[in-house]
Amino acid sequence: MAEKTCHAPWLPLENPQEKTTWWVVSGMTGVTVWHFLHHRLTLTPFFSCMTVASDTFIYIILEYAGRNSLFDLLAHEQRNSGGPVDGFLAQRLFLHITEGLAYCHGRFVCHRDLKPENFIMETPKDHARYNPDRPWSSDSLKIADFGLAATLKAGQRLMAQCGSMPFAAPEVMAAKSYDGFKLDVWSIGVVLLELTCGVSKMERLMRWPMDGALFADEEKAREIFQRTSNEEKFRNDIVRDFRPDYMRKAGNESIKNLLNMLTRELLVFDEARRSSITQIEQSPWVVDARRRAKEWGR
C-alpha cells in the first residue's frame, strides 16, 4: 500500500475552523475522483479517510505501484546517456498515458496536473525481472495524484490556475477560462516532448527559467504562440533532440507521424484546434503503438 498525506500549513492558525473547512472541501475532490476511477492505468484507492485535528491531515491509502515516477526514469536516462529515453519505449509509455487519460475523460474527469512526476512507473510483480538499478523495468505506468482534478459537465469551462509550467496550457498561463480536457491534452504533449527530446525540452525551446512556477503571464503565452506558429521551425527545433538510433529504426513515416501529432494535435496554441484525447488515440503514431503493443505484450 501507499499513503498520500496532505496538510495546509500556510493557512492562518488563528482560524482553525476555516483551515479545517478548506481542507475538507479541497480534499474531497481528490478523494471523490479517486473512488470514481478504477482502471489498470490509474492508481486505485483501498479506502480513504479524513482526520480533522490540530494539524488537519488527510490520509488517502492507495495501491502500491512503485517508488519511482516517470520523471525518475527521464532523469536517469539524462544522467546516463545525456538524452531522452529510447523512442520505442517513449511510444509504449505514451500509449499507456493516452489510454489512461481517455478513461478519465470518458468518466468526465480532467486531471489538470499531468507531468512526469505524476506518472508512477510500476515495479515488476515478477521478482525475477526486478532490477534495483532500474526498478521501473516493467515499462508500464499509472496516472497518480488527482488532487487538482475536476469532474466536468459538457461544455463547462474552468477558471482556476492549476499545474506547473510548462505543462500548463497557454490559456491557463494567461489566466483565461479553459476546457479542462484540452488542458490535459496540452500537458501530455509536453510530457511526450520530454520523452522524445529529454528533460525540460519546452523550457529550453522557450528559454524559460526551470523553476516550475505557474502564474498569470500573458507574455509567456505569447512566447508560446510565437514559437509554435512557425510550424516548420517548431518541428526542426523538436527533431533536433530525437535519438539518432530511434530515427534510423523508426523510419521517416513514423517520425513524420510523431511530429504531426506533436505540432498539429497536442502542442496547439489555439485550444479550439487542439485535438481531444479521443482524436489522439486515433493519431497514426498512437495507432502504430497499439499495433506494436501486441509484440510488446502490453
Q: Enumerate the active-site residues.
A: 113
CA–CA gap between residue 286 and residue 266 (Å, rounded): 12
CA–CA gap between residue 165 and residue 113 (Å, rounded): 10
Contact 59, 111 (CB under 8 A): no
Contact 182, 274 (CB under 8 A): yes
Which residues lie below 8 Å from residue 34, measured CB to CB, with a gap of 6+? 43, 44, 45, 48, 60, 62, 146
Whether the bond between 116 and the residue before it is cis, its omega within 30 degrees of 0, is: no
CA–CA gap between residue 179 and residue 81 (Å, rounded): 38
| Helix spans in the chain (H) | 16-36, 70-81, 87-106, 170-173, 180-197, 201-206, 218-229, 231-239, 244-250, 252-261, 277-281, 284-296
Task: List Cβ<8 Å contacts ≥24 apart for 272-275.
Answer: 274/182, 274/185, 274/186, 275/185
